[in-house]
Structure 1
Amino acid sequence: MVKRLGQRFKQVYRQGPVETRLQEAALSQWYRTSVGQELLAAEVDLISRAISGRFGSMMVQLDSGAHEPLFEKRLFGAGTLVSQLENRAPCPVICAKPENLPFEPESIDMLLMHHTLDICENPYQVIREGAIALKPGGVLIVLGFNPYSLWGLRALIQGRGEGAGIWHSRFLRSGRVEDWMHLLDFELERHEKHLFYPPYRRPSWLQRLNFGGRVQRRLLPFTGAVYLLVGYKQVLGRLPAAEKRVKRGFLEPVVSINSKVRHK
């Protein structure tokens, strides 16, 4: 029993889904459920607050199956979705893997990873690609599922049976993601946990459990179903260039540029 739980813990919290494309398709269907719609609405509000007061010419969203932009369009000149599935999102869509982003270095103002680390093959490589593509001072926003929550507990108990949907995802510890961001020279601005309600599908249950969610938020603030990380790429300072000294001969007189030559 203990060995089986250990194997399931490793599968759910570390390995992630077997096939990224299939998991994105499964999440795309799950986002259409009542709980999925509640989750997207809450995350749109979180993203809106995270980018409040920021402006830029280019924002990229690494999609996980939502197939729609989750940021306010008027704040950015151009918004692009990166997906592994063809979809009809109301903005440009690029089919690519998040571990190999097709953008020039330092060409993006803001990068949103919407549960990308939960379904990709190599989470650290995804953040590294984001660090390369972001401009100095660019903002990275990461949304992921919290393993230390009721949602993470259900994923651990339910396992990865057929039709598991969201429970196939990797529930990655937010502290680990924060360490990766620091390693790649990101200055962390926000580290928050949100959505304090059980993963039930019936809206009537969600309304009845509002009080319990408020108590959970107050007493156990680290048990939110979703974590939000916001960091910006640091601009490394440059040392001033050393003054160039003009070489002169041993017997050559010293005459500065600003000195006045007196003629007799």
Structure 2
Amino acid sequence: MTQTNSQILNLTQWLNTDPGQTVIRWETDKFDQIVANAFGFNALQIGLPAWDFLRNNRIRSKVILTDESKKNVTSTDQPKIIHGRLDQLPFPNCSLDLVILPHILECSQDPHQILREVERVLVYEGRVVISGFNPNSLWGLRNGMPFLDPWIPIPNRNMVSVRRLKDWFKLLSLDIDRGHFGCYTPACQTEKWLKRWDFMNRAGDRWWPVAGGVYLLSAEKRARGMHLVGPLLKKKRRRSLANRRPAIVTQRNITQLFNTENG
């Protein structure tokens, strides 16, 4: 078993605990909001096949890719579960409209390679949505305390901070269009104490929004290319307008157009 598989299995077990279920409920709500407005032909979820974070998306073709052993995964028809390497996605270039990665980057030995693969398979204007643990939070601080058992089964050094993720997005021409932080409560083991501290979730959104225990970022893939700016752009526009001839539209033109398309 690879280190990545081991961390994903440990994370899956932790997500079934009381604090883990708090994370799942918050992330499911945010994923539902974002993917509801994503359209296209193909959608992909990478990792955590026990949870369907594509459930609120209306794209017909949905797939969950995992590198876990088949004996550890319960297969379903919708969405379909396939097995393969996460750092070499088995999809052609520019073939997916939506890709979501729930906590996969922090479980990987080479998260930047996975993100490069995601950029490769996304169509232009395609969307990627990523969730992760925030090392700069109460949970992150508790997880890194010496002489205490880890709070989350992922070392702080493996967590991908929002600032780091933004830098990677810039390198890959991925523009962030929205983001959320959540889970501001202290590191409590039981649902009883998590509920007692629930008021911090409401206060956190208002007073320290970037200190949530988990985050979710959404970005779109932009086309790489040169953009004309300043006087050169204005000059080219004037030349284009000067050379443009007005189009003469008649009822005969419209009739011919429709006849051609219908024929």
Name the SS for the 1:99 alignment partner: coil
Percent sequence identity over aligned pairs: 26
TM-fit CA distance, 1:88? 1.1
Q: 2:50 aligns with which of 64, 67, 74?
A: 67
The secondary structure found in structure 1 opposite 2:126 is: strand
Q: Contact between 1:139 and 1:231, CA under 8 Å: does it hold in 2?
A: yes
Residue 15 of structure 2 is matched in structure 1 by 31
Match of 2:4 in 1: 20
Q: Out of 26, 38, 41, which is 1:54 matched to?
A: 38
Could you say which residue in structure 1 is the equivalent of 2:214?
Answer: 226
Does residue 1:79 correspond to 2:94, yes or no? Answer: no
**Matched position secondary structure for 1:100:** coil
Question: How many angstroms does 1:159 deviate by?
Answer: 7.4
* Per-residue deviation, residues 163-204 of structure 1 (Å, max 9, x unmatched): 875244622211111111111111210133222112322111
CA 1:116–1:158: 2 relative to 1, 3 Å: farther
User: Closer, same or farther in 2 for the Cα pair 1:211/1:83, shift >3 Å?
Assistant: same
Aligned to 2:159: 171
Q: Deviations over 1:59-80 (max 9, x none)?
A: 11111x3523112255111211
Q: Deviations over 1:98-124 (max 9, x none)?
A: 211111111111000111111001111
Equivalent runs, 1:116-155 vs 2, <5 Å: 116-155=104-143
The structure that has the greater radius of gyration is: 1
The structure, 1 or 2, with the larger RCO (C-alpha pairs under 8 Å, 6+ apart) is 1
Q: Which residue of 1 aligns with 2:74?
A: 88
Taking a change above 3 Å as real, the CA distance of residues 186 and 134 of structure 1, as seen in their structure-2 partners, is same
- Residue of structure 2 in register with 1:205 after alignment: 193
Q: 1:128 to 1:50 in 2, by over 3 A?
A: same
Q: Deviations over 1:117-167 (max 9, x none)?
A: 110011111111000001111101011110100111121115796x87524
C-alpha distance in structure 2 between counterparts of 1:31 and 1:97, whole Å:
23
1:101 aligns to 2:73 (yes or no) = no
Please state whether the residue corresponding to 1:71 is helix, strand or coil. Answer: coil
- Structure 2: stretches of 5+ with no match in the other structure: 228-263
Could you tell me whether the CA contact under 8 Å between 1:73 and 1:79 is conserved in 2?
no
Cα drift, residue 211 of structure 1: 1.9
3-state DSSP of counterpart to 1:157: coil
Q: In structure 2, how many angstroms separate the alpha carbons of the residues matched to 1:205 and 1:153?
A: 19
Q: Which amino acid aligns with 1:120?
A: S
* Alignment deviations for residues 25-75 of structure 1 (CA, whole Å, 9 cap, x no partner): 111211211221221111011111112322222111111x35231122551
Per the normalisation by structure 2, the TM-score is 0.76
**Counterparts of 2:135 and 2:152, CA distance in 1:** 16
SS of match in other structure, 1:109: strand
Q: Gaps (5+ residues) in structure 1?
A: 1-17, 240-264
Give the superposition deviation at 1:94.
Answer: 2.1
